[in-house]
Each structure stands twice: as structure tokens, then as C-alpha cells.
Amino acid sequence: MREILGRRRRLRFWRKGSPAQLEAALTCAVAWQWPVLPGVGLKSAGGRGDRGRGCACPDPECAVPGAHPFDPGLLAASTDERMVRWWWTNRPTAPVVLATGGHAPCAVSLPAMAGARALAALDAMDVRLGPVVATPTRWSLLVAPYSLEQLGELLHTQDWVPGSLRFHGEGGYLMLPPSETGAGQVRWERAPLEGSATPWLPDVEAVVEALVEASVSTPDGGSRLAY
């Protein structure tokens, strides 16, 4: 895809002294028109010297510490530059949350070991991939927007779908680099091309079969999903 030079210059301007999270949020929201919002983040779990971390939300038993929206809620996700700057000026270390679906990317995520196998298989088949987000426990492949009906028809063609596969579509969200959550650091396993226009995304049909196969063939890849 042809690079937009003016946009490249602007991204470089943002990097001048900008915190990493603000830089990433501005790139997603303004350059790529992906709606984002700050995630809840982490807080210290104890006093001085205690390095334990817990979720900053009120739930002491939060299942996904630091890795979800809270205040503001998901519906507040925006591509407005002033709003994004205000959010991360007030909370410079807040995770970057992508609101998936609509005109924004969707995603399919799976356990990290299965994700590595799936990427190797897709590369061997010369399937063109878009950005891939990784945490120590899960990998997420960004794909073109899909509808629930489209996803349902696609999954119906599979013999069975592991419960460890997760689909981030309309009304969902995904943590983006360089966020930090209770599961660890969020990073790019396959990063978008720097300075280019909106990242290219594959259709979900191009990757689902390989993701299912990788999950099924990986130990503890997931249980059967009834649908």
C-alpha cells in the first residue's frame, strides 16, 4: 500500500518526547482511524517493596487484571486526537485498548504456543498476514472486520472449534502494544509497517482453519466448543 508521506512526518513528530502509550494511541486513532480508549491498568498490590501487581478496577478477583476497559467504558472509544491526548495526558501509562469491529479491525486470539504453530503454518502456505499482537500467554491475529453471521457460517464448516480460540468482533476489544497487563507485556509479534498507511488486514476466512488446527494439535490447546 502506498505510504502517505505527510502522515509519516506527523508520526515522527508525535514521537518527539511523547510517552510510548500516547504515541501508540495517536497512531492507531488518528493515522489509522482505529477507535481506542485507555484500559484500567494495574496498581500496586502492597506496600513499599512489594512488587505484586493487581487490577486497578474494584474487583479484587479480576480475571484479567489490567486488561480491560473500566472508566471510561468501551463505548467511549474514539479516533478524536484531542480526546486521546486528554486521556493519556491524565493517565500516561494506561494500556491502549482497541475497540474491535465496525470499521476497525477484528481479531482471533489463541494460546501462545498454538499461535506460534499457526503462524509457522500460515507462512508455509504463503498466506499474507497482518499485524499480530502477543502477550506471554496469548497471540492475537488482526483481521478485516467481520459480522457475527459471517463468523457463524465460517465456524459451522469446522468439525469442532477449541474453546481456547477467542473471537474479538463487534462489541469486543483487544489490548495493543506497548501496554502492560497482569499477564505481562503486550508486544508486536508481527508489527505494522512503520510510517505506512493503515495496516493491511487479511480476511478471517484466510486464517481460521490454520488457527483451529494449531489449537487442536497443541497440548492443552483447548476443549471442544459446542455451537
Please write the tens of the pLDDT for every residue from 156-196: 887 777 788 899 999 999 999 999 999 899 999 999 987 66
C-alpha cell at 196: 505506512
pTM of the model: 0.84
**pLDDT for res 165:** 87
Q: Which residues pair with 225 in a beta bridge?
A: 161
- pLDDT tens digit string along 52-109? 579 999 999 999 999 999 999 999 999 999 999 999 999 999 999 999 999 999 999 9
Q: In whole angstroms, what is the distance from residue 82 CA to residue 30 CA?
A: 10
Torsion angle of C-alpha atoms 33, 40, 165, 118, degrees rounded to 10: 60
Cell of 147: 459480522
Q: Are 163 and 224 in contact (CB under 8 A)?
A: yes
Confidence of residue 46 (pLDDT cuts 50, 70, 90): low
CA dihedral 214→216→218→222, nearest 10 degrees, is 120
Which residues are registered as beta bridge partners of 78? Answer: 36
